[in-house]
Amino acid sequence: MALLNICVYPDPVLREKARPIGMVDAAVRRLIDDMAETMYDAPGIGLAANQVGKPLRVIVIDLQREEDPHGLIVLVNPEIVQASGELVWEEGCLSVPEFFAEVHRHEKVTVRGLNADGKPVEIQADGLLAVALQHEIDHLNGRLFIDHLNPIKRDIFKRKWKKRLLEASV
């Protein structure tokens, strides 16, 4: 196992459309293990392969809550096959550190993909798990949570980020 480097906005790899995995082989399982370790270390509740510089369709999620029965969720080639309702959740992202904003998402989603054994799985989710699944699948399509903000809030984000980059370069 190894910790991977997390890419930060505006790294172009975060804008790439991730490629599907042909077969869940040893190399893919290694990537999954390293991504899980990196997510727990960060700590975060999810991670997409783009975020560690590998535009491949792999995500890991662990809400790390007592009441959550799922534990570590691994999805290869995940696809949203059903979505309904709407909710608003305050989101953050390991690739956009220290910026948080409310995002509108579907309230419930059904997601299909492969697990770490390459077997088909289907997950029905609501609440935070539904939010995390949509956030991670967005990453695989080169989309970030800041892309969901209205023009005014996006502008606030851009100003804050510019200011931060200037301060960091002093």
- 31 and 50 Cβ atoms separated by less than 8 Å: no
Q: Which residue from 93, 111, 116, 123 is in contact with Ni ion, where contact means CB under 5 A? A: 93
DSSP, collapsed to helix, strand or coil, labels residue 9 as: coil
Question: Is the CB of 92 or the CB of 142 nearer to ligand GNR?
Answer: 92
167 has catalytic annotation: no
DSSP, collapsed to helix, strand or coil, labels residue 75 as: strand
How many degrees, rounded to 5, is the angle at CA 26 between CA 22 and CA 29?
85
Contacts (CB under 6 A) with ligand GNR, residues 32-71: 44-48, 51
In whole angstroms, the minimum distance from the beta carbon of 105 to ligand GNR comes to: 9
CA-CA-CA-CA torsion sign (124, 40, 19, 138): positive
Contacts (CB under 6 A) with ligand GNR, residues 107-166: 131-132, 135-136, 139
Interacting residues toward ligand GNR by CB under 6 A: 44-48, 51, 89, 91-95, 131-132, 135-136, 139
